[in-house]
Copies of this chain bind each other. A is one copy, B any other.
Amino acid sequence: MSDARIYATYWIETAFPLEQAAATMAGEQSTGTFVRVPGETDELRAAHAARVEEITELGEVALPSLPGSGLPKTGDATRRAARVVVSWPISNMGLSLPNLLATINGNLSELKAFSGLRLLDVKLPAEFLTRYQGPQFGVAGTRTLAGVHDRPIIGTIIKPSVGLSPEATADQVRVLVEAGVDFIKDDELQADGPHCPFEQRTSAVMRVINAHADRTGKKVMYAANLTGEIDEMLARHDHVLAQGGTCIMASMNSIGLPAMKMLRAHSQLPIHGHRNGWGMLGRSPAIGMSYIAFQKLWRLAGIDHTHVNGIANKFCESDDSVIASARECLTPMFDAPHPGCEIMPVFSSGQSARQAAPTFAALGSVDCMFAAGGGIMAHPAGPAAGVRALLQAWEAAVAGVPVAEAARQSPELEAALAAFGG
C-alpha cells in the first residue's frame, strides 16, 4: 500500500483557538486519546497521526449552533467558524470504505470542542479503485441501455407510493410508456410489500415494457426498487435481469456501503442510488455531511445514478446545493488515466417544463435524468403531452431559446407553462 493520503474537509464552529480545535480533531481520529498513553511513541505519531493541512477562518459566530459544546478554561473564547482540511495516511485504515467512515466521521461530531462540525468533502487516492469497482454503467452505459442520447433522460415515478397491486402498477406503467417517457422508477416506499410483492410487480411491469419495446423499438428503463436484505437484493436483481429489465434501485441509507459493494459486484444492471433519509445527514448546516462527500463514497461503491433533488423543489434544499450535487456527479473523482466514476444526476421533486432552462444553465450539460411526476401526469392534455412539453423545454434550453418563446411554437409546452405555476 502506498503512502497516499485521504483528505477530508470540514466546516467547524468552536470557541477554542482554531489550531487547537483542529488538532483535537486530528488527534481523536488517529493516534490520540484524551490522555497520552505509554504506547504512543514519537515514531508512531510521525507515521500515523492525522495532519491538519489547512485552516481557513470564516468569521465570528454569535451563538453556538448546537448544544453541549464546551469553552476553553482560560483565554479568549470567541466563537468562530472555519474550514479545516485534515489528512490521514491510507495505511491507517486500509482501502476500506466502512473503516474510512469510522475515521472521517467517527466520533468527530460529538467532540465537546465543537458547537458545529460538518463533513464538506473528501478526496480519496485512486488506489481505492483496486478494492472498489465504481459505477459499472455511469452516464454512457445508462444512455446506451435507455437508447437516449444528446438530451436528458426523461423520467417519472410510480405513484401512489403504496397501495397499488402488481397489475395496477403495470397499468400505470402502460400509460407512462405510451406517453413516451424514457425512465420510470418505483417509489422508495414500495420494494416488496405483501400487497405488491417484488417479483410479481416487476414481472407485470416488464411484460408491459417488453411489449412496448417489441412494438416500438424503445425499451423504457425501469428502476425496480429491490431494497431489502442482501440475499433478497441479489435474488431480485436476477429476477429483473431475467425479465429483461435494465435497471435496479436501492435506498442507500437503508442498506449501507458493504451491501452496495456486494450488489455492485453481482449486478449486470445499472444501480439507481436512492438517497431517501438523506435529510437526516444533510439538512442541518451544523452537523452531518454534504451530498458532495456522501455521493463520492457511494459512487466508489458502485451506484450509476443518484438523486440530487431539483431546482425550485418541493423540499427545503436550496438551488445552489442541488446544482453543486449535480455537478459533482459529473466531475471525475480521480485523475485520468483512472476512471472518473462519473454518474447520472437525477433531478426530481416538483419538476416541470419550467425548470429545464435554469437546470441546463446551471449544470452546463444534458447528462442527467430529469424526472417529473405531476409535471407529466397532470398535464392538461395528458401524459404524452406532458412528456413532449418537457422535451420541448429542454430543446429550447439547449438552443438558447427562451421557454416562453418556444411555447409559442408548441401547444404542449404552452399548456405546461400555464398549468405548472409561474
Instruction: Identify the A interface with B (CB < 8 A).
Output: 1, 29-35, 37-40, 44-45, 47-48, 66-70, 91-94, 96-99, 101-103, 105-112, 114, 117, 159-164, 168, 172, 188-189, 191-195, 227-231, 233, 251, 253-259, 261-262, 276-281, 283-289, 309, 314-318, 350, 373-374, 377-378
Contacts and interface: CB of A to CB of B under 8 A. Distances in A.
Contact of A378 (B30, B35, B164, B288): B35
Contacts of A288: 280-281, 287-288
Closest 8 CB pairs of A and B: A256-B256, A68-B316, A109-B279, A110-B279, A98-B254, A44-B163, A110-B315, A48-B163
B283 A289 contact: no
Contact of A93 (B37, B111, B189, B256): B189
A229 B96 contact: yes
Contacts of A281: 280-281, 288
Nearest to A373: B33
A207 to B, nearest CB: 18
Given A99-B228, A229-B258, A280-B105, A33 B316 contact: no
A172 B378 contact: no
Contacts of A228: 96, 98-99, 258
A111 B163 contact: no
Given A98-B227, A256-B257, 9 more contacts: A30-B161, A33-B161, A66-B284, A94-B192, A102-B251, A108-B279, A256-B259, A259-B259, A284-B284
Nearest to A172: B39
A193 B92 contact: yes
Contact of A160 (B40, B105, B254, B286): B40
B68 A159 contact: no
Nearest to A233: B258
A97 B229 CA distance: 8
Contacts of A254: 97-99, 101-102, 256-257
B110 A283 contact: yes
A48 B194 CA distance: 12
Contacts of A114: 316
B35 A188 contact: no
Contact of A229 (B91, B98, B101): B98
B34 A189 contact: no
A1 to B, nearest CB: 5
B284 A29 contact: no
Contact of A316 (B69, B159, B256, B315): B69
A94 B225 CA distance: 14
